[in-house]
Structure 1
Amino acid sequence: MQVLTRLLFASFAIAATPVCFASDDWRTLDPENTLVIDSNKGRMIIEMRPEMAPKAVERIKLLSREKVYDGLQFHRVIAKFVAQTGNPNNQDGGGTKYPNLPPEMMFKLPYKSISNIASNSSDAASGFLGSVSIQSLPITDALKKDGASLRSWGAHCAGIAGMGRNEPRDSANSELYFMLDATRRLDRDYTIFGRVVIGMDVLLNIKHGEPPVTPDIMQSVRILADIPANERPQVKVASEQAMQKIIAKVRQEKGADFSVCDVVVPAKIN
């Protein structure tokens, strides 16, 4: 399936500002690139973006379909930092029968796919790839040459989903991590593959500990497309058009005090 790459760039902090949504202000997630985690605490739904990390997304789909993730613990959960899971041994440093993955911390996108640019300083730009917060080099770097690509990377904001690893940068295998709060020092050092769009309340309610005394578990991990049609939720997030409205409103409220991690992308289930 060809993935449509669209970047939405923002220049101001987006708070939980009320915006009136019309029916066309929603974008339906691609079922083939949506991860559904049913835990003992509730359901989390993650939008995956293979443009950012194709090998990681491919591996997660494979392990989900092989039921490797089912029953695994959240083995390391640190308040206001991160929740880790996905290792078959329920410890750090685990892996599967498959080889480790190459680093996918950085990615490039054709500049012609970039739209809704609201900020582009002399040294960086920031915004979204779908619902996933990103940072990039200045847009002007790509515009200087027709057909050029823009070098980008994921921004570690609350809800971001990535691949855990050991010290070597090419040691990611099966481990998943979910950010409980913004930690931008991790940018460009770990592979980001998506973001939690439904279930942040569930994520924030997972028991803390290294490991927790009684760890919470992922009861089942599925790709949305694999869920029977009569059981499959239709997940929608704010469209580009809706995000433009939010950005414009928050410009007036926040001025230049921007962090892409202040952005809360609205989402719903039909």
Structure 2
Amino acid sequence: MPISRTRTFRSLALAVGLTLSASTGAVAEQDLENTLFIDMEFGRIVIEMRPDLAPNHVERIKLLAREGFYDGVVFHRVIEDFMAQTGDPTGTGTGGSTYPDLKQEFNSAPFLRGTVGMARTPDPNSANSQWFICFDDCSFLNGEYTVWGKVVEGMDVVDQIKKGAGRSGSVTDPDAMVSVRVAADVPQ
């Protein structure tokens, strides 16, 4: 018995609809309170924050995002095949927020492409507002820095961030984050 065109069309329409809702609904399925939207001039980066791994670091990121602290802040240190670092309002790599530094929350999450970790000085308890996104496998950082999230959408945007020169990664005319928002605060 042949399958009717109407039934075939309905099946196809359902399959397409499910595929589209799966791809566009990725953020809707996430915990919006623990999702960060970073809007750049050339696209959006979506970070899944991990309070199960680093609750104090995630709380700090959300607090600063909600205050607008990160809006307009540049990626001041960007090293090809390593990472892009931001979170310093002075753009020099030496600044931070007015809040006290955080005690480390090192965890077993590996530093892979898209992993987001907190920057710090040689003191493991000195993370404040600066953080970085890994371009590649950075497993040499495992257990030495706090992982607090991962990029779940927009690695193509991360890859477009202007790279710096040499080992310092200092960037001339660096790219800035236009806005950084907790997804729960953004109308869906």
The TM-score, its normalising length taken from structure 1, stands at 0.58
Q: Matches of 1:92 and 1:104 in 2, distance apart?
A: 21
Worse overlay, 208-217 or 197-206: 208-217
Regions of 4+ moved over 4 Å: none
**TM-score calculated relative to the size of structure 2:** 0.82
Instruction: Give the unaligned 5+ runs of structure 1.
Output: 1-20, 107-152, 233-270
State the structure with more CA Rg: 2
- Does 1 or 2 have the higher relative contact order (CA < 8 Å, sep 6+)? 1
Distance 1:214 1:31 in 2: 32
Q: As a proportion of its length, which structure holds more helix?
A: 2
Amino acid at match of 1:207: K
Which position in structure 1 is the counterpart of 2:101? 100
Superposition deviation, residue 91 in structure 1: 1.9
Q: What does 1:148-187 correspond to in 2, within 5 Å?
A: 153-187=108-142
- 1:218 aligned counterpart, secondary structure: coil
The question of 1:223 aligning with 2:188 is answered no
| Aligned residue type for 2:30 | L
Q: Distance in 1 between matches of 2:91 and 2:171?
A: 11
Q: Distance in 1 between matches of 2:41 and 2:75?
A: 11
Q: Would you say the 8 A contact 1:93–1:166 is kept in 2? A: no
Residues 200-225 of structure 1, C-alpha deviation per residue, up to 9 Å, x if partnerless? 00001111113222200000000000
Match of 2:160 in 1: 205
Deviation at 1:166?
A: 0.8
Q: Is the 8 A contact 1:41 1:206 kept in 2?
A: no
The DSSP-based 3-state class of the residue aligned with 1:217 is coil
Match of 2:5 in 1: none
The CA deviation string for residues 179-233 of structure 1, in whole angstroms up to 9 with x for no partner, is: 00001010000000110011000001111113222200000000000002xxx2x
Deviation at 1:66, TM superposition (A): 0.3
Deviates more, 1:67-76 or 1:90-99: 90-99
Instruction: Give 1:47's aligned amino acid.
Output: E
Q: Residue type of the partner of 2:163?
A: H
1:67 shift after superposition? 0.3
Structure 2 distance, partners of 1:217, 1:95, is: 16
Deviations 1:231-259 (A, max 9, x none): x2xxxxxxxxxxxxxxxxxxxxxxxxxxx
Number of the residue aligned with 1:47: 48
State the one-letter code of the partner of 1:160. Answer: T
Any idea what SS the aligned residue of 1:156 has?
coil
Q: Report the aligned-residue RMSD.
A: 1.8
Deviations 1:100-121 (A, max 9, x none): 0010012xxxxxxxxxxxxxxx
The structure where strand makes up a greater share of residues is 1
SS of structure 1 residue aligned to 2:91: coil
The offset of 1:93, in angstroms, is 2.7
Q: How does 1:1-270 map to 2 (within 5 A)?
A: 28-106=29-107, 153-209=108-164, 210-228=169-187, 232=188
Amino acid paired to 2:147: I
